[in-house]
């Protein structure tokens, strides 16, 4: 089983970077530094949680690290990879995100994958050969150099506020909505976008009020949200498990890559070509499914906490109650989290053997939704 080749995994947040020059050991892939830590913060690297005494101020952030803050946790990371725009990421409590950086044919693309929670970013002006975006479940934010914040709710709403510069918020149908000082952009859970005038001096108050209102809405609709997310989880989990089983059937390739990774070596060009061909399609499917599965999974973990407080108790189906499902989810947690960590590690190994590019570097931007996006103005 592929799990045997990966060390103990702990659920944390994740900061992946695909470096064209990667090919050596992980220690050669530093892309930033941890400059502030408080409370519960974890870092996952190559499918294993770093020891608590390694998660300290000054700890390096490497290619494909994953980072998570607990309810009392916060962090700040500076990205200082020479070819990427200098940036500072401030991580709020209860946040999970990924940051992927690829350097391909002289062009650098940085992409933050916000799974849940809230981030604030300060990004220097980008050069002509640099791109940066932030991805949520159904929105891509184009950045050119600015200070802004992105918040998500447990229902799937997204709020983008900008204190300087501007952020282009692209919907799945290609329509763009601009967040700038004086205007915020909201993507509602049902898929509708709207722009809202808010004075720059009132942004902090607006964000707090927005978050409180969304929490109240989640509590009021907890059972419906649990039912919807359980249905999505079951569907996505089945697809993920099917493709994960296919990846396990390539155990000889994956174990060889992991062994080479520990020794800082790679196979010859002929071997690499055959091995990449053997796993590329499966990795592509797993990454696309995992992009959605992670969001639903984290959302259900947070909904469980509300459920434990008495919100959303009831039946999911004729044969499954909410209590039964959350008991099942708890039993599955270690296996689900380990498998997602393993997939990330395999993607990192593939990227090292593919000039820094994984099979999904440019394919995770949009997925079809059930309803078209419509603009609302307020």
Total residue length of the chain: 378
Residues of the chain under the 70 pLDDT cut: 1-28, 358-378
Task: Enter the pTM of the model.
Answer: 0.85
Q: What is the token pair recorded at 188? A: 């509602």
pLDDT score at 6: 40
pLDDT score at 174: 81
CA distances from 72 to 60, 95, 120, 229 (A): 22, 11, 17, 26
pLDDT score at 95: 94
pLDDT score at 5: 38
H runs (alpha helix) in 221-268: 222-248, 251-263
pLDDT score at 109: 81
pLDDT score at 152: 95
What is the residue extent of each domain of the chain?
A: 2-220, 223-352
Could you tell me where the beta strands, DSSP code E, fall in 180-327? 183-187, 193-197, 315-317, 320-321
What lies within 8 Å, CB to CB, of 237 at 6+ separation is 293, 336
What lies within 8 Å, CB to CB, of 161 at 6+ separation is 148, 149, 151, 179, 184, 198, 203, 206, 207
**For the chain, how long is the longest CA-to-CA vector?**
59
pLDDT score at 128: 86
pLDDT score at 315: 97
pLDDT score at 361: 53
pLDDT score at 9: 29
2-220 belongs to CATH 3.30.930.10: no
Contact 123, 145 (CB under 8 A): yes
């Amino acid at each position: 089983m592929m799990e045997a080749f990966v060390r103990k995994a702990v659920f944390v947040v994740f900061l992946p970077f695909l470096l064209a020059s990667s090919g050596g050991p992980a220690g050669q892939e530093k892309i930033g530094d941890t400059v502030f830590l408080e409370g519960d913060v974890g870092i996952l690297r190559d499918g294993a949680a770093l020891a608590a005494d390694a998660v300290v101020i000054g700890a390096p952030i490497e290619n494909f690290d994953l980072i998570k803050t607990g309810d009392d946790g916060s962090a700040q990371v500076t990205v200082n990879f020479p070819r990427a725009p200098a940036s500072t990421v401030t991580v709020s409590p209860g946040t999970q995100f990924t940051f992927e950086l690829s350097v391909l044919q002289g062009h650098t693309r940085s992409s933050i994958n916000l799974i849940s929670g809230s981030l604030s970013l300060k990004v220097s002006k980008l050069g002509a050969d640099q791109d940066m975006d932030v991805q949520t479940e159904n929105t891509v934010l184009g950045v050119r150099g600015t200070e802004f914040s992105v918040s998500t709710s447990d229902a799937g709403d997204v709020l983008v506020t900008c204190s300087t510069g501007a952020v282009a918020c692209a919907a799945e149908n290609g329509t763009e909505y601009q967040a700038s000082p004086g205007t915020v952009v909201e993507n509602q859970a049902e898929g509708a976008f709207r722009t809202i005038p808010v004075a720059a001096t009132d942004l902090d108050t607006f964000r707090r009020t927005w978050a409180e209102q969304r929490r109240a809405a989640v509590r009021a609709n907890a059972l419906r949200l649990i039912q919807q997310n359980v249905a999505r989880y079951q569907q996505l989990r089945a697809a993920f498990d099917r493709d994960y089983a296919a990846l396990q059937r390539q155990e000889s390739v994956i174990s060889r890559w992991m062994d080479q990774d520990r020794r800082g070596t790679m196979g010859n060009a002929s071997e690499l070509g055959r091995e990449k061909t053997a796993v590329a399609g499966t990795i592509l499917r797993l990454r696309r499914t995992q992009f959605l599965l992670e969001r639903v999974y984290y959302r259900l973990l947070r909904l469980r906490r509300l459920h434990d407080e008495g919100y959303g108790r009831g039946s999911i189906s004729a044969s499954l109650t909410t209590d039964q499902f959350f008991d099942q989810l708890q039993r599955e947690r270690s296996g689900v989290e380990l498998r997602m960590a393993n997939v990330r590690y395999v993607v990192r190994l593939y990227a090292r053997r593919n000039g820094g590019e994984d099979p999904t570097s440019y394919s995770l931007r949009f997925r079809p939704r059930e309803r078209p996006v419509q603009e609302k103005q307020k």
